Chains A and B, each alone.
Chain A
């Protein structure tokens, strides 16, 4: 028996245009069956994700971002449309927690890159921008590089293929995907480094207690 194909070839288009179906579609058993399936698929699609909802306080971080960046709109208008340069780099000032600065102790620098525009917003950037870390070992044997978002570990060179070592230097690049405040942390030592690194505060405290050298970038705000 040849199965009627008119529902698929004609009726779907008519229905999606908001038109009325002709008599055939109320008499043809195959088409009636297909029509019921079409309605069921629509119902399933309508209900997809109906059991998920944002948390009750989801608006709070947005207001916080806006209130802590009062010039967000003006700054963006001023710089957002600059184009024609494929990549721009912003070198962010690095704060060294250790008092003994110098290349022999290892360094860390952080750069922000945007793919299609100069986006100069001080240490404020936007989702999708990339951060590139360049870190040196100095005279140390061991180094750890971590990135934290809102105090929680979001990137580690321990398990990332995005970290590359070339001699005394390690580079790593990854995107800043979510809104929030980021910190990059470098830990150096001549002993193997074992740390509880899940939380920024604990990581810093443990590293200091263990006598490791700790460098931390100034915060990067992604808005």
Chain B
């Protein structure tokens, strides 16, 4: 049985038995890295992603009673992650330094970028930031986190077809931005 299925089964059983600590432990081990990566890709800072990671799982623990089983626990936790990440972005918006593209040269002004990211990764992230918030989120959840459109509809609260259309429109824009900034595809 795949790890995710094992985690889903184990955590669901723990929740039914009201063993919330065990459920949390299973979910943190199974999805902690995925949530961290998602938050990092959204907010662009390891420190903030780590804070958000903690908030997400504390919120999940607090709200376990509200999980109705309409989706997988992974999807449910990503809903929390998405909401917390967007809250974070809203709170930081006035301090945010916009990323500008000048003469096709990427000029990332003060947005924190980890040194370990390679150049293509930085350009990809900057090109993603050029998309609308909705498109960027859909692209990350679809391709980076690997959700199906059905699962995405639970997270984004839109119809699967709408999200699919968003992704289909965003792919050429992303490809064009990458090529304009010297990424060979």
> What is A's interface to B at a CB cutoff of 8 Å?
8, 12-13, 16-17, 36-38, 40-42, 44-55, 58-59, 61-62, 65-66, 72-73, 76-77, 127-128, 175, 177-179, 223
* Pairwise interchain contact B125-A48, C-beta atoms closer than 8 A: yes
* Pairwise interchain contact B50-A52, C-beta atoms closer than 8 A: no
**Which of B68-76, B100-108, B113-121 interfaces with chain A?**
B113-121
* Pairwise interchain contact B36-A54, C-beta atoms closer than 8 A: yes
* Pairwise interchain contact B140-A44, C-beta atoms closer than 8 A: no
Q: Which of B61, B175, B183 contacts A72 (CB 8 A)?
A: B61
Q: Which residues of B contact A72 (CB under 8 A)?
A: 58, 61-62
Interface of B is mostly: helix
A12 to B28, CA, bound (A): 35
Q: Which of A38, A41, A179 contacts B58 (CB 8 A)?
A: A179
- 10 nearest CB pairs, A to B: A45-B143, A178-B51, A37-B185, A54-B36, A49-B37, A40-B185, A12-B168, A49-B41, A76-B62, A179-B54
User: How near does chain A come to B18, taking the closest CB pair, in angstroms?
Assistant: 11
Q: Which residues of A contact B172 (CB under 8 A)?
A: 8, 12
Question: Contacts A8-B172, A36-B185, A48-B121 given; 18 further ones with Cβ under 8 A?
Answer: A12-B168, A12-B171, A16-B149, A48-B144, A54-B36, A54-B49, A54-B50, A58-B36, A58-B53, A58-B54, A65-B58, A72-B61, A72-B62, A178-B55, A179-B55, A179-B58, A223-B58, A223-B62
Q: Which residues of A contact B120 (CB under 8 A)?
A: 44
B contact residues, range: 35 or more
